[in-house]
Amino acid sequence: MRLSGKIAIITGSATGLQGSVMGFGGAAAWRFLREGAKVIVTDIDLNSGRETVAQMKAAGFEAEFMYHDVTSASDWERVVTDTISLYGAPDVLVNNAGNSARFGVEETTEEAWHQQLDVHAKSVFLGSKEVVPSMREKGGGSIVNISSIYGLVGSPTVTAYHAGKGASRILTKSIAVQYAKDNIRVNSVHPGYAVTPLTNSFFAESNQRDWLIDRIPLGRIGSAFDIVPAVVFLASDESSFITGSEVVVDGGVVAR
């Protein structure tokens, strides 16, 4: 019960259906509940979000689903206000919502560029801005931003994704420095290659899979369940002296 009594908002967490491939957000939501937290599952996927929360409630946990466009300031205001009304001020915000745009520089449109920066960087800004006042009043909190190893190193593709994840990484440090005095800790998690609903079909291609495994010193592709323990740690009081840090969970990819 490492998160006992804590109230958490986890964005992009509809991908938590039991018996299916889970995303980082969905797997984190289940683990947070098992560690004693109350969880607000937010996503733009209404059906999966509602089904996921129905399973959580059936298992005896306290969870609610809220539709949430993380690029919308008004949606952030509504989600945080409704969370406070339902459970109280949030102790934890996990900025997990994300997607990808698999294009090089010349193929990346302005629309794709803005969309990736909005989903991966603007959302962190909006979410942090919205939860900070209630966290400060409560005496502190933890914001965990799910970045990527692609926020640390380059690759031949996903140009705008790199920019968005890199922005979330440095934005994490800026917010951490600003609000350390309020006992609000802000850290980023940088997953490596992991099977999720977004990557499952792509990673299943034999050539792509072989190329990935060859790059991973531990010799295997990860899953959401490999990433979640780092998120739980940063959300918990065990990490009370950690802020502005980046936790890399990648099987050793960026170590060489």
Q: Which of 81-85, 132-136, 192-196 has the lowest mean pLDDT?
A: 192-196
Q: Rounded to whole angstroms, how far apart are CA atoms 196 and 48?
A: 15
Answer yes or no: are the C-beta atoms of 158 and 102 closer than 8 Å: yes
User: What was the pLDDT predicted at 189?
Assistant: 98
pLDDT at 242 over 90: yes
- Looking at residue 205, its pLDDT comes to 78
In the chain, the amino acid numbered 166 is G
**pLDDT range class, residue 44, cuts 50, 70, 90:** very high
Question: Predicted confidence band at 206 (pLDDT cuts at 50, 70, 90)?
Answer: confident
Give the active site residue among 87, 161, 179, 193. 161
What pLDDT is recorded for position 100? Answer: 80
How far apart CA 90 and CA 201 sit, in angstroms, is 35
pLDDT for the residue numbered 198: 78
Q: What are the tens digits of pLDDT across the range 69-124?
A: 999 999 999 999 999 999 999 999 999 999 888 888 989 899 999 999 999 999 99
In the prediction, which pLDDT does 194 show? 92
pTM: 0.95
Residue 42: CB partners within 8 Å, gap ≥ 6? 9, 10, 11, 12, 13, 49, 65, 66, 67, 68, 70, 79, 97
Whether residue 195 is predicted with pLDDT greater than 80 in this model: the reply is: yes
Give CB contacts under 8 A, 24+ apart, made by 179-183: 179/132, 179/136, 180/243, 180/244, 182/132, 182/135, 182/136, 182/140, 183/139, 183/140, 183/141
Q: What is the mean pLDDT of the chain?
A: 95
Q: Does domain 7-243 have CATH number 3.30.70.260?
A: no
Does 161 qualify as catalytic in the annotation? yes
